[in-house]
Amino acid sequence: MAESRVSLSRERVLRAAVEIADGNGIGALTMRRLGEQVGAEAMSLYHHVANKEDLLDGVVEIVVREINDAVDAIDLPVTGADWKKAARQRILTAREVLLRHPWAPGVMETRTNPNPEVLRYHDALVGLLHAGGFSYDLIHHALHALGSRALGFTQELFDPGDGSATPTQAELEQLAGHFPHLAGMLREVTHDAGTTLGWCDDQTEFEFGLDVILDGLDRLRTTR
């Protein structure tokens, strides 16, 4: 749906790009398709965006601004031990926003330029950890340890079944021939989970990994 009345602007171009990615996936985000979306020729976009790389930088900026807005709204004063609850809440809120833009993590990982909204997000997180009693040195390590988890996502490269899809007995036996340990794990874990719900819930696993790291950091906080 082209909105041709309003004149173009960087902001309007970027928002249209996010709409396309949300609706049709990141693969649908081409300069020609984006021109169509804003009711202009593809070439007109270059007056508001340097090139496609710049477009993708801007698109990430829009999404992380949405995260920052959501996270700012829930903020509480932090002192001492409650740092963990506050950090956890921020990160899970970031994750909620990203679930509305499932293509965004993939794009974020291709960016190399520092993004002001990403900096803003981490700046607040550093402030929170410092108020919570962390040394700057430990905070620096903590940011690396969290990595993309700080912003609410992890890129899974090992997807043993789709979570919802419980493997059949036949599939398990075929797997067991080549990968006995994996098959053993799957047999037990899928059995415990029952068959109605998926045996592998992304949200649960994200929170598990996050808590392992946050607990570990909390322990280091009090010992160094």
Is residue 196 within the footprint of DNA (CB under 7 A)?
no
User: Residue 41 or 211: which CB sits closer to a second copy?
Assistant: 211
Q: What is the DSSP string of 199-220?
A: S--HHHHHHHHHHHHHHHHHHH
Interface with a second copy includes 173 (CB under 8 A)?
no
CB count in 10 Å sphere of residue 7: 8
Q: Taking CB under 8 A as the criterion, which residues in 133-172 touch a second copy?
A: 136-137, 139-141, 143-148, 150-151, 154-160
Of 43, 119, 185, 197, the one binding DNA (CB under 7 A) is 43
Q: How far is the CB of 62 from DNA (least distance, A)?
A: 18
Placement of tokens 């999404």 in the chain: 63
Residue 141 touches which of DNA, a second copy, none (Cβ within 5-8 Å per kind):
a second copy
Cα 8 to chain centroid distance, Å, stands at: 29
CB-nearer residue toward a second copy: 42 or 175: 175
Among 16, 48, 64, 90, binds DNA (CB under 7 A): 48
Mark 169-208 as b/e (b = at least 16 C-beta within 10 Å): eeebeebeeeeeeebeebbeebeeeeeeebbbeeeeebbe
d(CA 143, CA 140): 5
**44: partner contacted, choices DNA, a second copy, none (Cβ within 5-8 A by kind):** DNA
Work out whether 27 is an interface residue with a second copy (CB under 8 A). Answer: no
Using the minimum distance from each CB to DNA, give the nearer residue, 26 or 92: 26
- The residue among 57, 35, 92, 69 whose CA lies nearest residue 211 is 92
Contacted by 180, from DNA, a second copy, none: CB < 5 to 8 Å by type? a second copy
Judged by beta carbon distances under 5 to 8 A according to partner kind, the member of a second copy, DNA, none in contact with residue 69 is: none
Q: What is the dihedral of CA 10, 11, 16, 19, to 10 degrees?
A: 140
Least Å from the CB of residue 7 to a second copy = 30
Calpha distance 162→105 (Å, rounded): 19
